[in-house]
Amino acid sequence: MLGRGGRKAWVPRGLPGEGRRFRIDYPRRGRRGALRWVPSWRQLLGVALLSLGALATLVGHVYSTVQITDVNASARAEANVYYWADGTQMVSVGPVNRQNVPLSDIPPSLQNAVIATENATFYSDPGFSVRGLARAVVNMARGQEVQGGSTITQQYVKNTYLTPEQTLDRKLRELCLAVKLSRSLSKQEILQGYLNTSWFGRNAYGVQAAAVAYYGMDAKDLDPPRSALLAALLKGGELYDPSLSAAHHRRAVQRWGYVLDRQVELGYLSKAERAKYTVFPEPRPASVSTNLSGQTGYLVDVANKDIKNRTGLTTEQLGRGGYRIRTTFDKREVERLRTTVEQVRQTSLDPARRIADREVEVGAASVRPGDGAVLALYGGSDATEHFANNADTAGVPVGSAFTPFVLATALQQGAGSVDDAPLALRRALVRGDSGVYRRLGEAVGLEKVRDLAVGSGLLPLSMAPLEPSFPTGTSTPSAIRMAGAYATFAAGGRQADPYSVTAVSHLGTPLEGLERPAARRALDAEVAREVSDALRDVAVDAMAPDAIRTLSPVAAGRTGDEDRVPASWFVGYTGRLSTAVTVFRSRPGTDGLLPMNGVGGSETDRADFLPLRVWSSYMTGSPASREAG
């Protein structure tokens, strides 16, 4: 074929113009034997270019279709964290033990330790490592797992947006998301996300949960040696937790030293500072941070009810996690109340020898007068075994511990002082004379007695029908509510609803509706004072003089010998602490209460010495009681 100017035009071999079909010269013509199967350099280059083109097309497609909003839901799940009144962590509750914290609450020592050992080029790389990517390709070609030296950004992507499977598709998505994140988020945001989603062993996700699990402190309080151990755990919590075995301890110490040395190498630590850190920071023994056994489950139960009642938050919403809950519970008081109950049970009950001592339940609660804060409670032997919360249960008749409300109603209606009132009310209160208070209740009006009891802090739903026996204590308030209602007398007639939560935040945003309940006047101050005077006689009659002197001033009410209810109560207060204790018998799966005859070897059907022993022992040793004395 001639071209312009009569020159012969070049036509690729195999083009239709030459009357030939297009074909690839492979196996190669003009070669013999095995050489026919050896591709030319042009063919190799063509295959390489085609492969790169296909790969670029694939990467471009994945990059354009993958979405940053495609979040792995489990990576966002957080526990609900409950705190004691002093701000220390009580328990973390939820399927995932995670508590996100801002980068400002993560000390530089921990940030530097992690960057030094996990991704030294973190602040300068584009979100991925070329070397790590090449290693992943080589592993893929060898038929091995698609893994390599991932950057912090890639690991954050894997933790947050993807599943942990090792496949080419997931690795490609990881790479593309890492690049996108690097372009849309700052390095500080990526580092914060990574440190809040990484697993450190001990079921701890994120640095805050890890700091609590290993050292019992917040992440912000970690020093360089402890930070180095947490950074070491990112290599594998199941391999480097020093408490698991001697081999684990050796690995942890070695890795810990490497983390510190690596920081010196990269300029994060000076040699002089590194020389200070020679003692390995032993973590505390491994424990389950979400444990709801003992009293913890009861405390969480009461706090959750308070949150829902005051904010309108539903159980479903609370169950989604991410809440930080500050409670009123005093850790020392809760432990002391638990110890007191268990000691009284041990010294007073013998279930192996006495059938009546079996299935005995105790409930107790302490409230701060004038304020309503629930400081301590005892809900039962173990929240994971005995699910009903004895401190917050309804169904236990209060007996003659209810009669102070009848007396207060009479005084509020103008019956005169206790000393001058008819029917010798003071003596009847001491003796628990139900007949006297039955008649007094009828005289002043059962509705007015009920209204005053509710106004003092008892719940309307716990009130019994307005029958002639109503003034003798057929109502069934909880120990928390009884402690709160008696606190109204202690506070000079000002009533404050019991509360157990002071603040709640969700993902950093405070919840509204948790302001401290405002106190209001429920009784005239003089009426409250005279009821307290009468109750002080009850305390003197019930307790030893030495105990009274220790607790003075103190006022108390109790169930009496004439009560016909299958439970025993003792409720009393000082100027700073109001405590209610109830003892009863119940059997799971049955309705009603079992009789109290013979409990603790008593000859009566009351066994009212048990709540008295718990109350007096607990109150005698109470710091709040000592302050009031």
Tell me the mean pLDDT in the region 454-482. 96
Tell me the mean pLDDT in the region 364-387. 93
Whether residues 611 and 487 share a domain: the answer is yes
Whether residues 504 and 426 share a domain: the answer is yes
- Residue 586, domain member (yes or no): yes
241's tokens: 């937790």
> pLDDT value at position 51?
58
Cα(267)–Cα(264) distance, integer angstroms: 5
- Residue 434, domain member (yes or no): yes
**Entry field: residues in the chain:** 629
- Residue 353, domain member (yes or no): no
> pLDDT value at position 67?
53
Give the pLDDT confidence of 261-298 residue by residue, as tens digits: 999 999 999 999 999 999 999 999 876 444 788 999 99
What's the Cα-to-Cα distance from 140 to each of 88, 106, 429, rounded to whole Å? 48, 37, 86
Whether residues 378 and 481 share a domain: the answer is yes
Whether residues 514 and 578 share a domain: the answer is yes
Say if CB 191 and CB 118 are below 8 A apart: no
Buried b (16+ CB within 10 A) or exposed e, 512-522: eebeeeebeeb
> pLDDT value at position 456?
97
What is the tally of structural domains in the chain? 3
Whether residues 458 and 580 share a domain: the answer is yes
Say if CB 362 and CB 390 are below 8 A apart: yes
Residue at token pair 């607790």: 551
| Of the candidate ranges 237-246, 444-453, 605-614, the one whose mean pLDDT is the lowest | 605-614
Residue at token pair 């299935």: 359
Whether residues 60 and 115 share a domain: the answer is no
Report the CATH number that the domain containing residue 259 is assigned in CATH. 1.10.3810.10
Whether residues 102 and 57 share a domain: the answer is no
Q: Which of 276, 296, 328 is the last residue of a domain?
A: 276
User: HSE-up of 197 (CA within 13 Å, CB side)?
Assistant: 24
- Percent with pLDDT over 70 in the chain: 76
Report the CATH number that the domain containing residue 603 is assigned in CATH. 3.40.710.10
Average pLDDT of the chain is 82
Whether residues 491 and 583 share a domain: the answer is yes
Whether residues 251 and 106 share a domain: the answer is yes
Ranges of beta strands (E only) in 330-426 are: 360-367, 374-378
Say if CB 129 and CB 175 are below 8 A apart: no
C-beta neighbour count of 410 within 10 angstroms: 26
Cα(408)–Cα(91) distance, integer angstroms: 41
Tell me the mean pLDDT in the region 94-121. 91
- Residue 351, domain member (yes or no): no
> pLDDT value at position 18?
47
| Of the candidate ranges 3-7, 114-118, 233-237, the one whose mean pLDDT is the lowest | 3-7
Whether residues 108 and 201 share a domain: the answer is yes
- Where in the sequence is the domain holding 196, given as residue range(s)? 98-276
Strand order in the sheet with 509-510: 89-93, 80-83, 323-327, 501-506, 509-510
Whether residues 379 and 254 share a domain: the answer is no
- Residue 574, domain member (yes or no): yes
- Residue 93, domain member (yes or no): no
- Residue 444, domain member (yes or no): yes
pLDDT band at residue 55 using 50, 70 and 90 as cut-offs: low
Q: Which of 224, 245, 276 is the last residue of a domain?
A: 276
Give the pLDDT confidence of 539-578 residue by residue, as tens digits: 888 776 666 667 667 888 888 777 777 899 999 999 889 9
Whether residues 471 and 598 share a domain: the answer is yes
- Residue 518, domain member (yes or no): yes
pLDDT band at residue 579 using 50, 70 and 90 as cut-offs: very high
Q: Which of 276, 300, 321 is the last residue of a domain?
A: 276
